[in-house]
Amino acid sequence: MDAVDVATLQKRKLARWGLTTIVMVIGLALSILFTLNIGAVDISFNTIFEVLLGGGDEFQRDIIINTRLPRIVLGTMVGAALAVAGAAMQGVFRNPMASPYVLGISAGAAFGASLAIVLGISWLPGRLAIPSMSFLFCFLTLFLVYGISRTKGGFVPVETLLLAGIAVGAFFNALVSLMKYFAGDELSAIVFWMLGGLWRSSWEDVAISLPMIILGTAVIWLLSRDLNTMMVGEEHALHLGLNVNAVRLAILLAASLVTAAAVSVSGIIGFVGLVIPHVVRLLVGPDHRILIPVSLLGGAIFMIWTDTIARTILLPAELPVGIITAIIGAPFFIYLIISRRRKLEW
């Protein structure tokens, strides 16, 4: 293939990337607009625009500005965070079945939240207790897993890291079961939180999680070229002078940061970080420089609509959004297992 052909292919690839990104951005904007219109109270698009521009009556403003909009914004952030973390984890472990929770982070977060619910943590302001405790235990879990996996020479084998994540996750799951056993009236709160949902959404939750999601996503994207190099093979990356351990740790820390930020305000919402990166990879290919930002957009759109289904399908009641994502994600996970088995048999 000569230089002209390579340049042509590169231009086509960049054009496809640009078109996909534009379509996803438009899709996200339209999703936010349409889901603002959907709910128990019927509000027209004209009224929505009027309220967003500072008009409307107090009742309409309360529904749109204080109820629907913070929930949609938080859903956008949570979906984006989980999708970005999933894409990063799949790249680091070179495993299509890796997810944001692969290192036992969700189990640690669940234990932290359960602890806050059962003990009624009082030294933190009301709404901050559960997010703060789940965030704290997310990072304690990560450092525990990394500490167990680290060898004397400072090397961290991927296989050992995964096994340590499974073991630590099982330990925290056992502690959560213990919390459920001792919980009284708080049991339903623990179960509902573990199923994942955005029913508690507020602008305060947005303010808590947004800076961490931005920081973690920025770090992952800045390291996307190094992640591409690691995907070829760690030995190849080492020969090119890449500090594999340092890059892996930085990406895992950043992915854990955005996961912890999402989980702390939404509970455990599964399959977003597993499904979205795969779908996006089919659209734009495996290059993490574009995979990360488009996964962010795809995760945001996916979460907005699954949460809208969760809050409207059984009006006036609502389902935890984790149930909806599991209904969609579980069949996809089965498909991955079957396709992977066929490749091995081939």
Domain range list for the chain: 12-336
Is residue 293 reached through a cis peptide bond, with omega within 30 degrees of 0 on the bond before it? no
pLDDT-based confidence at residue 3 (cuts at 50, 70, 90)? low
pLDDT at residue 41 tops 60 = yes
Query: How is domain 12-336 classified at the CATH fold level?
Result: ABC transporter involved in vitamin B12 uptake, BtuC (1.10.3470)
pLDDT at residue 266 tops 80 = yes
Contact (CB, 8 A) for 130 and 116 = yes
Instruction: Provide mean pLDDT across the span 55-63.
Output: 86
Q: pLDDT digit string (tens) for 247-264?
A: 888 998 899 889 888 988
Instruction: Provide mean pLDDT across the span 152-164.
Output: 76
Q: pLDDT digit string (tens) for 281-309?
A: 988 988 999 999 999 999 999 999 999 99
Instruction: Provide mean pLDDT across the span 92-106.
Output: 82
Share of the chain above pLDDT 70, in %: 92
The confidence score (pLDDT) of residue 341 equals: 65
Cα separation of 79 and 92, whole Å?
20
Instruction: Considering only the C-alpha atoms of the chain, give the largest distance between any 2 of them, rounded to a whole number of Å.
Output: 71
Cα separation of 271 and 255, whole Å?
15
Q: In 234-254, which positions are buried (b, 16+ CB within 10 angstroms) versus exposed (e)?
A: beebeeeebebeebbbbbbbb
What is residue 21's three-state secondary structure?
Answer: helix
pLDDT at residue 122 tops 70 = no
Taken in order 305, 306, 309, 311, the sign of the CA dihedral is negative
CA distances from 264 to 74, 109, 156 (A): 12, 7, 27
Contact (CB, 8 A) for 111 and 172 = yes
* Residue pointed to by tokens 């999933």: 86
The confidence score (pLDDT) of residue 162 equals: 83
The confidence score (pLDDT) of residue 186 equals: 75
Contact (CB, 8 A) for 86 and 272 = yes
Contact (CB, 8 A) for 133 and 116 = yes
Contact (CB, 8 A) for 292 and 217 = yes
DSSP letter string, 59-127: HHHIIIIIIIHHHHHHHHHHHHHHHHHHHHHHHHHT-TT--TTTTSHHHHHHHHHHHHHHHT--SS-GG
The confidence score (pLDDT) of residue 291 equals: 95
pLDDT at residue 172 tops 60 = yes
Q: pLDDT digit string (tens) for 7-30?
A: 777 788 788 888 999 999 999 999
Contact (CB, 8 A) for 259 and 82 = yes
23, two tokens = 């379509």
Closest C-alpha to 104, from 36, 159, 153, 173: 173
Share of the chain above pLDDT 90, in %: 30
Q: Give the count of beta carbons closer than 10 Å to the beta carbon of residue 193.
A: 24
pLDDT at residue 6 tops 70 = no
Residues with Cβ within 8 Å of 23's Cβ and at least 6 positions away in sequence, in order, are: none
The confidence score (pLDDT) of residue 332 equals: 81
Cα separation of 236 and 241, whole Å?
9
pLDDT-based confidence at residue 276 (cuts at 50, 70, 90)? very high
123, two tokens = 């030294």
pLDDT-based confidence at residue 4 (cuts at 50, 70, 90)? low
